[in-house]
Structure 1
C-alpha cells in the first residue's frame, strides 16, 4: 500500500496569454486530495481519470496491464468539485505518485506534468514552487522562488463549471488583447517571490483577475475590488475557468470578520454562500 496527497488551488495567481501561449501559475491552498493505492480488486466507485492515471503510470514503468488490474484506488478529498479548485489535478497527480510509490518507483515533477496533461489540462499545483506552466501541453515549466506567505478568504459559489465547457468558448481575441497585461503580471509575480513581497503578489493576481472578467465574469467583482482598497488587502485572485474568488490578506493585519460582514452586506452570501479562511501552501505531491 502507498499513499500520496496533492493540494487544491484557489484558482490561479495568473492565467492567460503569456510569452506566446496559454499558461498559468496556480495558487495552492491547505485543502488536499489523498489517494491510497493498494493490492485489490478495482472498485466501481473509482473516478475514471484516476484509473486512467494508474494504468498510465504502470505502463510508464514497463509493468503489464495485469499489474494495473490488481490495484485498487481509494480517495479522501476535502476539495469541492467543479469550482476551479484544481480538484481533478489533485486527484490524478496524487494517484500517479501513490501508484509509483506502490511500485517502488519515483516520478520527477516534469514526468508527472507530462503524464497529467496526457489526461487533461493540469494545474501547476503539482510543482513545489510557484511555476509558470503551459497547462495544455507541459512544454513550459518555469519555477520561481517560494511565494510570500498569504492567507486567503475563499468565496465559494454554488456555480459549477467544467473545464471542458469553459474551453469550448471562443477566447482567442480576449486572450490576445490582455497579453501585455499578463506579461506584466508575470513579471510582478516573479518579483514578489524574489522580494518576499505579498503586495506585489496581490497586484499580479489582481491584474490577471481583472483581465479574466472579459472571459468569465465573477459576480460582485467591482464591489470586491473596492473592498480590497477599503481594507488595504494584498489583492484578489480568481479561478479563471471556475467560480471561486480569493481575497488575499494577512489575518494578523487584516480584520477578516469585519471583511466577511461587509461582503454579506453586499448580499455576497447569495452569490458566495460558503466562505472559508485558508492558507496558501507550497505545491507538490506529498
Structure 2
C-alpha cells in the first residue's frame, strides 16, 4: 500500500485529557507600545495570581464530526471554539482524522471582573484536548488558538515571567525579566463586583500616549531588574491613571488615598474589569498593620477586599497567614 492510499490515522479512543490554567489579577501595565517594527501595538503585562483557575476535561467521540463538541456547563462558547480548533491542530500534527468530543469545565473564577476567566477556560480546554491526543503544543500555538477563539487573550499560556504581550495578536513583544518584584497585593472589587462586558469596551487609540507608555515600559523593565517594588507601584498607578479615560473607575481616587495613607507602593487595576489591588513591599516595616489597615479602609469605601496574595513563590498562607481573606467576589461561578 502506497502512502497515497494509506488510510489516515484515527484519534486515540476512550481517552480523557485534562488541562488546567491559572488566572490573573488584572494588569500592571496596559496600553499601546511600539513593536520591533516600530508599529503601535496594543499590549499588556498581567499580574499573575496562584490559586483559582479553570480545569477542563475532554473526551473523544470517535466517528463524530470535528465541530461536534458538547460543553458543560452551557454557554462556554469561547471554550467550545477553542476545543474545535485544538482538535483540528492535534489531528493535523498526528496525521489523523479529527473528531468531536465532550468538554467539561470546572472552576470558581468570577466572570467579567478582569481576572482572565475566559482565557483560563480556553487554555485549560486546549491543554485538555492536547492531553487527550498525547501532545503538548508550544505556547505560541496555544496563543494563536486562544486569540482565534476569543479575539484577544491574556498570556496565561506562557510561564509566569512578566511579559509584554500583544493580546490581540497572541505574541510576546518583550520578556521583561525573571519575575515581578516581591509584592503583597490586597485585592478588592469595584462597582459592587459587577461584571464588565469586555467586548463592548471601546478600543483606546491614544497615539499621543505612546511616549508615556514607552517610559512606563522602561520603568517596569528596570523595576524587574532591580526587584524594585516601589517602582513597580509607580508603573501600576500610572497605567491605571491613563486607563481612567477609557474605563473610568469612580473609586480610583479612594484607592489612591488608601494607598497613600497606608504607605503602599501603589495601585493596579483590571483594565477591562472590576478588580483592583493595593501593592505593598513585603520588606516594609509594619507590613501586617499596613495590610490590615488597608483592608479596613477598602471595606469602608465599599471596595470589598476579596484576596491578599503575593507575587513571589512562597505561599502567602504559610509566610503571611494574616493576609488570607475569606470573602469571595459576588460574581463567582460554578
Task: Mark yes or no: TM-score above 0.5.
Answer: yes
Given the alignment of the two structures, is residue 142 of structure 1 paired with residue 174 of structure 2, yes or no?
A: yes
- Distance in 2, Cα, partners of 1:229 & 1:258: 12
Residue in 1 that maps onto 2:320: none
Q: 1:56 aligns with which of 63, 69, 85?
A: 85
Residue in 2 that maps onto 1:179: 210
- Distance in 2, Cα, partners of 1:281 & 1:80: 23
Listed one character per residue, the Cα deviations across residues 124-177 of structure 1 (whole Å, up to 9, x for unaligned) are: 2222121111111124442122222322111113221111111xx2632xx223
CA 252–261 in structure 1, closer or farther in 2 if over 3 Å, else same: farther
Q: Which has the higher helix share?
A: 1
- Distance in 1, Cα, partners of 2:241 & 2:156: 22
CA 140–112 in structure 1, closer or farther in 2 if over 3 Å, else same: same
Q: CA deviation at 1:264?
A: 2.7
Task: Indicate conservation of the 8 Å contact 1:181/1:208, yes or no.
Answer: no
CA 43–132 in structure 1, closer or farther in 2 if over 3 Å, else same: closer
CA 61–281 in structure 1, closer or farther in 2 if over 3 Å, else same: farther
Task: Indicate conservation of the 8 Å contact 1:29/1:281, yes or no.
Answer: no
What is the aligned residue count? 273
TM (norm. structure 1) is: 0.87
CA 100–119 in structure 1, closer or farther in 2 if over 3 Å, else same: same
Listed one character per residue, the Cα deviations across residues 26-48 of structure 1 (whole Å, up to 9, x for unaligned) are: 11112211222234683453412
CA 186–119 in structure 1, closer or farther in 2 if over 3 Å, else same: same
Gaps of 5+ in 1: none
Task: Indicate conservation of the 8 Å contact 2:182/2:282, yes or no.
Answer: no
Residue in 1 that maps onto 2:187: 154
TM (norm. structure 2) is: 0.75
- Distance in 2, Cα, partners of 1:216 & 1:87: 19
Gaps of 5+ in 2: 1-15, 35-39, 62-68, 314-334
Residue in 2 that maps onto 1:5: 20
Which structure has the larger Rg over C-alpha atoms?
2
Instruction: Say which structure, 1 or 2, has more relative contact order (CA 8 Å, 6+ apart).
Output: 1
- Which aligned pairs between 1:136-285 and structure 2 lie closer than 5 A? 136-145=168-177, 146-157=179-190, 158-166=193-201, 169=202, 171-172=204-205, 175-250=206-281, 253=284, 254=287, 255-265=290-300, 268-269=301-302, 272-273=303-304, 275-280=306-311
Listed one character per residue, the Cα deviations across residues 91-146 of structure 1 (whole Å, up to 9, x for unaligned) are: 10111112111111111111111111112210122221211111111244421222
CA 139–32 in structure 1, closer or farther in 2 if over 3 Å, else same: closer
- Distance in 2, Cα, partners of 1:264 & 1:55: 44
Residue in 2 that maps onto 1:85: 115
Listed one character per residue, the Cα deviations across residues 236-259 of structure 1 (whole Å, up to 9, x for unaligned) are: 111111121111125674222211
